[in-house]
Structure 1
Amino acid sequence: MRATWSRWTLGPASISGASPRRAPDGAAPPPIRYGRERDRRARAAPRHLADRARALRDRRDGRRSPGSAAARRRHPDFVRRRAGGDVRGTAGGDGLARGRVGLGGHDRGADGRNLLPGVVADGRAIRERRRRREGRPDPLHHRSDEAHERDRIQGSGSGRQDLRRKRAPRRVRPIPVPDRPRPLSTGVPLIPNVRLLALAALLLGAAALLLGWREGRRYERSASERAVVFASLGARDAQALTEEAIRLYGAGQFPRACEKFGRAAADDPASAARRQDVIRCFEGWGWHALREGRPDEASLLFKHGLIETPDDPGLLKGLGVAAVHAGRPDDALAPLERAARAEYDPEVRLLLAHLHDRRDNPAQAVVNLRAVLEREPSNESARRLLEKVEREWRAEAGFRREITPRFVVKYRDTLDAEARREIVTQLEAAAARVTRMLAYTPQQRTTVVLYEHHEFRDVTRVHAWATGLFDGKIRLPVGRVRPPATELERLVVHEYAHAAIHDLARGRAPRWLHEGLAQVLEGATSDPILRAPSGLTLAGVEALAGDQDPLRARAGYNIALWIVRDLLDRGGGMESLRELLARLGAGESIAEAMPRVYGLRLTELESQWRRILGG
């Protein structure tokens, strides 16, 4: 059997045994494959080619494609393949042998028409290599069945001729381009004269500018009117910020409140009230920090407010009080003096009088106290302090001074030099003892005034049983007859202990704590069989300790000593007691500090002490 091989078209092939002859253009036929894949492709090739030819004929004749599922099931080839056979390569021939190339015969379809022969190789149709859609039916140029039949009989092969008969072989098929009678439309109508359009646009722009200028001139406002408008807008914003800041200030959110007040002042710089709001905010914030025991933070806040208004009396007052609470009374004098010159404030004047009295400057203390009494003649605090300062000033006229690292000792020339040296030695020893036990030393020198007995009674106005006094200064009676050394030592330690406790607690320790701890530091022991009235309270203990009756006063001292000893035995020792004093100095009350240090409320402790002492 002999046929020709065409590279680009399907048709009769030239096969001689198993040695194919190369195509005229040198192209080799597809490789021959073996195995199961070959069998599968061999069975599928005839059906594919038959369906394809039938589809072409039906499309040409306008009939429904017989390649539907029902038509394919009725096709003889389909029946034979379902029965396990294969489409024969030649009429009356057997199926394709394993490993050989077969040429399909001319079969007829379900409609009785001849089918195109199919060439299979190793179980699959031989499909030449070609460009996309090349060699396939052209929808624009169809060949008739007579042309196919003529090619089959004459053996010329459909692949030897140009199917369209309009181009040379292996050339690019020209694509017919439909006529375009008019250019594509952009959706915008064209204007013949572009220059007229540009001129019209220029004229319209000029007219719009002229109209806008005239209208602007008509409704233009003066510079002052615009400034008023902007100022009103800024004032409205500042008012809103101020209201928000007041709300935050009332809620205790001082940082955010001061920030809002500052923004309001910036939006309305011409308003003095806005600036005052900022100042008052920092002032309130500083006093809040001072009440919570943060004097250093309060000082910074007061100083920040003074940057804007250096002479504000409220801020200057707060700065001075913060320095006193921080244990720096010398730093408080300058801001308090400036505040007193700025405006009258009785509290500032009284504080200055106390500071000058402590610094042993009675003249300045008297000036401030008289300034208060000129404005407020009925001010009893100022009157009592003035009487005390004037008595001391008169009594201490002509006193000498001896300054040591911890003390300023004042005495008369008539005092025995040996007695004076012994007292100074005892003072230094007492300071060392208290510092060792309490682990605290006052930051300022302590003033010690040595009186004769009659001067001591006249100046201090204390009860007859009192042998010493601390009221910011240590005041000791010294006569021609010196007391025993042990008694003098205990007296000096007791009074210096009062000075250390006062400085550590910033003057806020209650009297029962003062007297009980001072006795502990001097070395006194409590009475184990001490008894007290069943309804006694801490306030009653303080009243007993200040009673003019020596026996009652001694009972008050003994109870205060027993209470402090009980606190020391509860755990923590002197360290817990020192923490209690520090909390008092930071601004906490005794009722707030006691449960934080000892874990019990003050009322619970009182109840326990009454039950023990009264039983």
Structure 2
Amino acid sequence: MNKKILVSIIGIIFVFSVLFFNSVNATFYPYVKDVGKAKLVRSVKDFKTAESEHFILKYTPQDEKYTSLVLDIAERHFKGVTEDLGYVPREKVLIVMYSDANKMNRDFSLAKGTNAMGLYLNGVISIQSPSLWIGNEDNLPEIFEKEGPIVHEFAHFIVDEVAKGNYPVWFTEGIALLEEYRENGVSWGEGLKGKPYSLEELNYKFNELDEVLAYKRSFEIVKAMSYKYGMESIREIIKYLGEGLSLEESFYKVTGDTLKSFVDSIK
């Protein structure tokens, strides 16, 4: 067989395999997520429960005094985040508040000593009790709203629901940080200097990069998307991701620009 033809056939097979994988991933991911959610729910079956219009909160008795605060803040930002990202959850969103950081780590298979203020996984938002990281009781509500994880993790929830797990980490982090900025005026990494990471580095080496600078770069890119193309573009990109397209394909379909050239233009 002609070598050039063979290479072309291999290339076509590769392209179709990638498209097929993305499509299958987006199709079956919700079922995989449901299994993971059920496991997590079982691990907190003895927690108490409080509810608001759009959220269910699981908590331990020692955190009962924080339940209204958590649910009020979640409801306060529900409309803004759902409108920005173009999706309203069909069911109430589950939030689990942990008074024991080690149990939270165990439930999410994190290394002992890991200090995550908030996490999103398998359709569940998990947060540390404010008592574990806020020392100033007088300003606790304000600190929890502006510096806490509710907006950030709720944004992750929506991206995951719509995109069906089909997205790079940096993109969902950038969106979550953009929502913190739009909802609470928090500008991640403001004033920090560093060489801007490339699209390739963000796509394939995100967890190896300097964490603060990687998050800052992700935020800058997604914020620039919202400024140049509007929030509608981000909503459309997330929707196409949920249909199985790659981020690069989704971005091009929405904007007519290549993602690499756009990222390279942001210094």
Partner of 1:471: 121
With over 3 angstroms needed to count, the CA separation of the structure-2 counterparts of 1:482 and 1:606, relative to structure 1, is closer
Match of 1:597 among 229, 250, 254: 254
Choose 432-441 or 458-467, whichever is displaced more: 458-467
* Secondary structure of the structure 1 residue equivalent to 2:114: coil
- 2:73 and 2:145 in contact (8 A); partners too: yes
- Relative to the length of structure 1, the TM-score reads 0.34
| Structure 1 CA distance for aligned equivalents of residues 77 and 244 of structure 2 | 28
Residue 468 of structure 1, CA deviation: 0.6
Partner of 2:202: 541
- 2:120 and 2:156 in contact (8 A); partners too: yes
Q: Which runs of 5+ in 2 are unaligned?
A: 1-18, 135-139
* Secondary structure of the structure 1 residue equivalent to 2:150: helix
With over 3 angstroms needed to count, the CA separation of the structure-2 counterparts of 1:435 and 1:608, relative to structure 1, is same
With over 3 angstroms needed to count, the CA separation of the structure-2 counterparts of 1:292 and 1:598, relative to structure 1, is same
Q: Map of 1:399-414 to 2, 5 A cutoff?
A: 399-412=47-60, 414=61
With over 3 angstroms needed to count, the CA separation of the structure-2 counterparts of 1:592 and 1:542, relative to structure 1, is closer
Match of 2:221 among 554, 563, 580: 563
| Structure 2 CA distance for aligned equivalents of residues 471 and 400 of structure 1 | 20
Partner of 1:341: none
Matched-pair identity in %: 22
Partner of 2:97: 450
With over 3 angstroms needed to count, the CA separation of the structure-2 counterparts of 1:441 and 1:604, relative to structure 1, is same
* Secondary structure of the structure 1 residue equivalent to 2:177: helix
Residue 520 of structure 1, CA deviation: 1.1
With over 3 angstroms needed to count, the CA separation of the structure-2 counterparts of 1:397 and 1:507, relative to structure 1, is same
- 1:545 and 1:555 in contact (8 A); partners too: no
Larger radius of gyration: 1
Query: Are 1:584 and 2:241 an aligned pair?
Result: yes
Residue 404 of structure 1, CA deviation: 3.6
Residue 456 of structure 1, CA deviation: 2.0
With over 3 angstroms needed to count, the CA separation of the structure-2 counterparts of 1:515 and 1:458, relative to structure 1, is same
Residue 576 of structure 1, CA deviation: 0.9
| Structure 2 CA distance for aligned equivalents of residues 600 and 546 of structure 1 | 27
Residue 592 of structure 1, CA deviation: 1.1
Q: Which amino acid aligns with 2:82?
A: T
Query: Are 1:438 and 2:94 an aligned pair?
Result: no
Query: Are 1:508 and 2:187 an aligned pair?
Result: no
With over 3 angstroms needed to count, the CA separation of the structure-2 counterparts of 1:608 and 1:443, relative to structure 1, is same
Q: Which amino acid aligns with 1:537?
A: S
With over 3 angstroms needed to count, the CA separation of the structure-2 counterparts of 1:480 and 1:602, relative to structure 1, is closer
Partner of 1:357: 36
- 1:474 and 1:496 in contact (8 A); partners too: yes
With over 3 angstroms needed to count, the CA separation of the structure-2 counterparts of 1:545 and 1:425, relative to structure 1, is farther
With over 3 angstroms needed to count, the CA separation of the structure-2 counterparts of 1:574 and 1:533, relative to structure 1, is same
- 1:594 and 1:601 in contact (8 A); partners too: yes
Residue 586 of structure 1, CA deviation: 1.4
Higher relative contact order (CA 8 A, sep 6+): 2
Match of 2:75 among 428, 436, 457: 428
Residue 600 of structure 1, CA deviation: 1.6
- 1:543 and 1:556 in contact (8 A); partners too: no
* Secondary structure of the structure 1 residue equivalent to 2:257: coil
| Structure 1 CA distance for aligned equivalents of residues 245 and 74 of structure 2 | 31
- 1:440 and 1:500 in contact (8 A); partners too: yes
Deviation by residue 1:295-333 (Cα, 9 ceiling, x = unmatched)? xxxxxxxxxxxxxxxxxxxxxxx9xx85x67xxx6xx7x
Q: Which amino acid aligns with 1:517?
A: I
Deviation by residue 1:500-532 (Cα, 9 ceiling, x = unmatched)? 111121221221111111111112326676544
Q: Map of 1:212-291 to 2, 5 A cutoff?
A: none
- 2:22 and 2:246 in contact (8 A); partners too: no
* Secondary structure of the structure 2 residue equivalent to 1:440: coil
| Structure 2 CA distance for aligned equivalents of residues 417 and 591 of structure 1 | 45
* Secondary structure of the structure 2 residue equivalent to 1:470: strand
| Structure 2 CA distance for aligned equivalents of residues 604 and 416 of structure 1 | 48
| Structure 1 CA distance for aligned equivalents of residues 52 and 36 of structure 2 | 20
* Matched length: 233
Query: Are 1:486 and 2:134 an aligned pair?
Result: no
Partner of 1:418: 65
Match of 1:575 among 232, 238, 257: 232
Deviation by residue 1:535-593 (Cα, 9 ceiling, x = unmatched)? x323423677645x9xx21111111111111112223x101111111111111111211
Q: Map of 1:58-77 to 2, 5 A cutoff?
A: none
Residue 425 of structure 1, CA deviation: 1.4
Instruction: Tell me the C-alpha RMSD between the 2 structures.
Output: 3.2
* Secondary structure of the structure 1 residue equivalent to 2:62: coil
* Secondary structure of the structure 1 residue equivalent to 2:75: helix
| Structure 2 CA distance for aligned equivalents of residues 428 and 565 of structure 1 | 24
| Structure 2 CA distance for aligned equivalents of residues 405 and 579 of structure 1 | 27
With over 3 angstroms needed to count, the CA separation of the structure-2 counterparts of 1:546 and 1:407, relative to structure 1, is farther
Q: Which amino acid aligns with 1:400?
A: K
- 2:69 and 2:141 in contact (8 A); partners too: no
| Structure 2 CA distance for aligned equivalents of residues 479 and 563 of structure 1 | 31
* Secondary structure of the structure 1 residue equivalent to 2:46: coil
Residue 401 of structure 1, CA deviation: 2.6
With over 3 angstroms needed to count, the CA separation of the structure-2 counterparts of 1:469 and 1:544, relative to structure 1, is farther
* Secondary structure of the structure 2 residue equivalent to 1:570: helix
- Relative to the length of structure 2, the TM-score reads 0.73
- 2:125 and 2:154 in contact (8 A); partners too: yes
| Structure 2 CA distance for aligned equivalents of residues 292 and 528 of structure 1 | 35
- 1:399 and 1:411 in contact (8 A); partners too: yes
Residue 400 of structure 1, CA deviation: 2.4
- 1:430 and 1:489 in contact (8 A); partners too: no
Q: Which runs of 5+ in 1 are unaligned?
A: 1-288, 294-317, 333-350, 363-388
